[in-house]
Each structure stands twice: as structure tokens, then as C-alpha cells.
Structure 1
Amino acid sequence: MNTMRLSTILLAAITALVAILLYSPLFVPIVSSFFVINHGQADWSTPTLSAYIALTENTDVLAALRATLIVGLCTVVLSVVCGTLLALYYHSHRAGGGALQFIVFLPFLMPPVISGLALLIFFREINFDRSLVTIVIGHTIFVLAIVYRTILTRLQSVSRTLVEASYDLGANGWQTFWRVILPNLSSAMAGGAILAFALSFDETMITILVTGTQSTLPVRLWAMMRLGFSPDINALVALVLLFTVLLCGLTARFLIPKQVAGFHG
């Protein structure tokens, strides 16, 4: 009993240490965003919201953030639609399934710099000007594999008797998809959309190669590294982290229970 208790305490201590090492750096910009920083030194005497006020006046960063959100939302829509259609095709028609999966997974498995260079050469060959559209295309190709696999896994778990019962009750193909298949795929589609948005928000290498005059937030921050970050970037990081935590909380609260219920129901 004492040995088991000692091992439990040891594992808990190791887990706590790993968590501290992983997540403690995240709290540095959050805490720093509430204090004035002069010449690299923080004044801990008086908390202030000046960094957040300065962030609202930083038009370049806000424009990059707006571009990132636009690209992320467009990527989510395209990847979920394409991933759902490809998953439905592979699940219903196995002909050419191997080639289909090879095409879908190849851009995700290749290094991002290779995918970005390939897209850059392609856009130049067809004289397609680089813009937010090219960024959306690059991000969609990159995240499609994750969305496709998430939806396909959920689709393969749906009992065929549900579809057969729908047809036996007189429903046509569209009605069966809308009222039987789609509700069972909704949680997987939402989960894939969250993953797609997170990957798109963070993608840098492909974005650098296919971007035009408008840059996303990661590219903007990459450029600012040469001169150093202003205090309002700490506020931006704090807000992004808060949004990420809320997104993870919503995912755990609303998506995971539905998926578990779907497998047991």
C-alpha cells in the first residue's frame, strides 16, 4: 500500500512538473500585459490596461488579425465542405480510394516549405496574383487531411441499419443525408472545423510563400521579431490565449459528450 501511494505521489509530482514547464511560459505575456515595460524592465508597482488600449490603436496588427480571421473562417468552410464530400465518396465508392487518400494526405505529410513552394510555383505558372485567396487555398489544402479523416472516422462508425431504415421508410437520398447522416456527422464536422481553424491560425511557412500584400498575424509577428515586440503584443497574446482556452472549454463541454453518446447510442 505504501509503495502504491509513493508511486502515485511520484507520478503526480512528475505530471505537475511537466505541466509547469509546458505552461508557465504562457503566463509571462499575460502577466506582463498588465504592467508597464520600460527598456525590458517591468514596473510591478502599478497595474495598467495601457497595453490593451495601445492594441486597439495598432492598425497594422489589427489588420493582420482581421486577415487571419477571414482566412481561418474561409478555410474552415472549404475544408469542412470538401472533407465531407470526399469522406462520403470514399465511404460509398471504394473505387480509387487509395489514390484519393494519397492526394488528400500528401500535402499534410510533406514539409510545409515544400507545399508552399509547390503552390507558389503553380500560382506563378498560371499568373494568379497572390492574395488572401491564395492563402486560403494553401491553408485548405494543408488542413483538409485532418478534417477529412475526422469526418470519415465518424462516418464509418454510423450503423448502416440507420440508412437502410431511412430508405425503407420512404426517404430519398437527400432526405437520408439531411436527416440521418448529417446529424450523426455534426459533432465530427464541428471538431474538424475547430482543428482546421487552429491550424490555419497558426500556419506560417505556407503563408509566407503564398501571401501577397496582405499578411496574416503569424507573418506579421514574424516580421516584428527583427525589431522586437511592443508591449501591446503582450495584450494580443493574452487575448489569443484566452480565446484558445474558451474554445477548448467549449469543445470539451459540447463536442466530446456528443461523440461519446453517439458511439454508445
Structure 2
Amino acid sequence: MKREFHFVDHLTGLTALAALIVIYAPLAVVWVFSNWQPVRVRGKLGLSAFSWDSYTKLTQNQDILNALGTTFLVGFIATVLAVVLATIFALYYLRTRGWMRQLMQALILLPFLLPPIIVGLSLLIAFRELDLTRGLPTIIVGHVILVVPVVYRIVLNRLVSLSPSLTEASLDLGASQSQTFFFILLPQLRTAFVAGGLLAFAISFDETMVTLFLSGSTNTLPIRLWAMMRLGFVPEINALATLVVGVAAICTIIFGVMQLRSTVARH
């Protein structure tokens, strides 16, 4: 039976298209200005010839590269710690009963639900009372607190979807708790780790408010860009943004392929 499209269908499609344009048009503009620079020719605004100069200058801008390196380091460490902690919390929640696990879950999710300015200010006061110098370690702690709830929910949802018979069969066949975890549960959680890790890294990479309270003299990329807003952006920023978007798109495609292969393997 052939389905007829009505006015509402066309309106919904146009709305979706407009939303996609609004979302992705700025990314396209950034890419354009990373290769073509705005110039005035005879009083009219135009674009220069295609050039890789922005990317070349980016490799020579040590301040941006240092900030980018710090951001990657913080994101990597925070993501690894978040995956480990989230897995421990999810296993505890799944295997226990009573009000303690509900309290634990509320405490885990609370920092993610609060405004970042409140989380950052609270951590700043806590570190000051503990007489801890602000820097890389305090930034990592702040980011871990922010991203653990995200990874926790993803890992917990995956654990809940698994059949209890998997672990029961392993234990009945003589495997220990640790063997069951490493050889039965961990392979089943691989996609949850990848999804949670990518999302946690993206949140950490972009985090500004909490980092602003905890950074001290340490610069991450968002803090560096925040400081540059007062002086004006340089063309290298467009090149950097294009590379970041490109890497993010590649990671998304890889994860999508992994998900597709995992779905096909299960069926």
C-alpha cells in the first residue's frame, strides 16, 4: 500500500532540514575560513585563494598546542578513571539491595545535575580547605566527578540488559568471580565502555566552567580560547576546530560500525 504524504509530513521534514542546517552551518563556515581567508578586493569582501597556511601556523602556535595537549591528557585520564569507577558503581548497584545503593546512585548523579558553576565553586572551596594547589590534578578530579554519571548510566543499562544466566552458568561450571568478570562480563561491556568513554572524553574536552575554577595556572584548550576572546581569534583556531570536528566524525563512524557489527553478531 502506497503511503501518501500530508502537509504535516512535509512540514516536519522541512523543520528537520532547517534544524540540521542551523546545527551544521557554523561547522561549514569554520571549515571554509580554515582554508580561505576573508579579504577586501576593490572595496568588496571576498575570499582569498585556497591555502593551508592556517594549518601550518597551527603547528607553530606553541600556546595552543600546549593547551591542546593538556586537554587531551586530562580527558584521557578522566575517561579511564570514570570507566573504572562507573563499572565498580554499576556492579555494586546491580548486585546489592536496600537504600544504600539508591543513596550511592543519587550521590553519583548529583554533580551532573547541578549547574557547573556550583560544582566548580564547591570543589574550589573543598580544595582550598584541604590546602591543595590548583592545577592538573584538581582539574582531573573535577572532570572525573562530572563524567562518571554519564559512563555509570551507560554501563548500568548494559549490565541490566544482560541475562543473569551468563554469570550463573559461568559460576556453575567452576569459574571464580574474577574469571567470570574478566572473561564473561567484560567482553559484553565493550560497546558500553566505548560509548561511555567517547561521551566522557567529549564532555571533558569541552568543559570550561569547572575547569575555570580548578585550573590555577594550567591552561586547557577551552580556557585558552576563553582568554583569546578578549584579544580576538587567530586563523589557527579555525584549523584546529576543523581538525577536532573531523576526528570526532571519524570516531563516531568507527563506533557506528562497531555497533552495527555487534548487532549483526548477536543476530
- TM tier relative to shorter chain: over 0.9
Q: 1:131 to 1:42 in 2, by over 3 A?
A: farther
- 2:70 aligned with 1:85: no
Give the Å deviation of 1:13.
2.5
Q: Normalised by the size of structure 1, how large is the TM-score?
A: 0.93
Q: Please name the residue that 2:60 is paired with.
A: 57
> Is the 2:38–2:48 Cα contact (8 Å) retained in structure 1?
no
Give the Å deviation of 1:9.
3.8
Q: Please name the residue that 2:212 is paired with.
A: 208
Q: CA RMSD in A?
A: 1.9
Secondary structure in 2 matching 1:33: helix
The letter for the 1-side match of 2:15 is: I
Give the Å deviation of 1:36.
3.0
Distance of 1:91 and 1:10 partners within structure 2: 45
Q: Please name the residue that 1:94 is paired with.
A: 97
Q: Please name the residue that 1:16 is paired with.
A: 17
Q: Please name the residue that 2:168 is paired with.
A: 164
Distance of 1:29 and 1:50 partners within structure 2: 15
Q: Please name the residue that 1:128 is paired with.
A: 132
Any residues of structure 2 matched to 1:247-258 within 5 Å, and which?
Answer: 247-255=251-259, 257-258=261-262
Identity score, percent: 42
The letter for the 1-side match of 2:209 is: M
Q: Please name the residue that 1:73 is paired with.
A: 76
Give the Å deviation of 1:256.
5.2
> Is the 1:76–1:193 Cα contact (8 Å) retained in structure 2?
yes
Deviates most, 8-17 or 122-131: 8-17
Q: Please name the residue that 1:184 is paired with.
A: 188
Gaps (5+ residues) in structure 2? none
> Is the 1:64–1:220 Cα contact (8 Å) retained in structure 2?
yes
Secondary structure in 1 matching 2:230: coil
Secondary structure in 1 matching 2:131: coil
Distance of 1:255 and 1:182 partners within structure 2: 16
Gaps (5+ residues) in structure 1? none
Q: 1:69 to 1:86 in 2, by over 3 A?
A: same
Q: How many residue pairs were aligned?
A: 262
Q: Please name the residue that 2:150 is paired with.
A: 146
Distance of 1:107 and 1:2 partners within structure 2: 48
Secondary structure in 2 matching 1:128: coil
Secondary structure in 1 matching 2:246: helix
Distance of 1:218 and 1:79 partners within structure 2: 21
Distance of 2:244 and 2:194 partners within structure 1: 20
Q: Please name the residue that 1:238 is paired with.
A: 242
The letter for the 1-side match of 2:247 is: F
Q: Please name the residue that 2:28 is paired with.
A: 27
Q: Please name the residue that 1:46 is paired with.
A: 49
Q: Normalised by the size of structure 2, how large is the TM-score?
A: 0.92
Secondary structure in 2 matching 1:194: helix
Q: Please name the residue that 2:117 is paired with.
A: 113
Distance of 2:238 and 2:153 partners within structure 1: 36
> Deviations for 1:52-106, whole angstroms, at most 9, x for unmatched residues?
1110110000000000000000011100000001101111112411110111001
Distance of 1:108 and 1:158 partners within structure 2: 26
Give the Å deviation of 1:253.
1.3
Q: 1:159 to 1:153 in 2, by over 3 A?
A: same
Distance of 2:13 and 2:149 partners within structure 1: 36
The letter for the 2-side match of 1:200 is: S
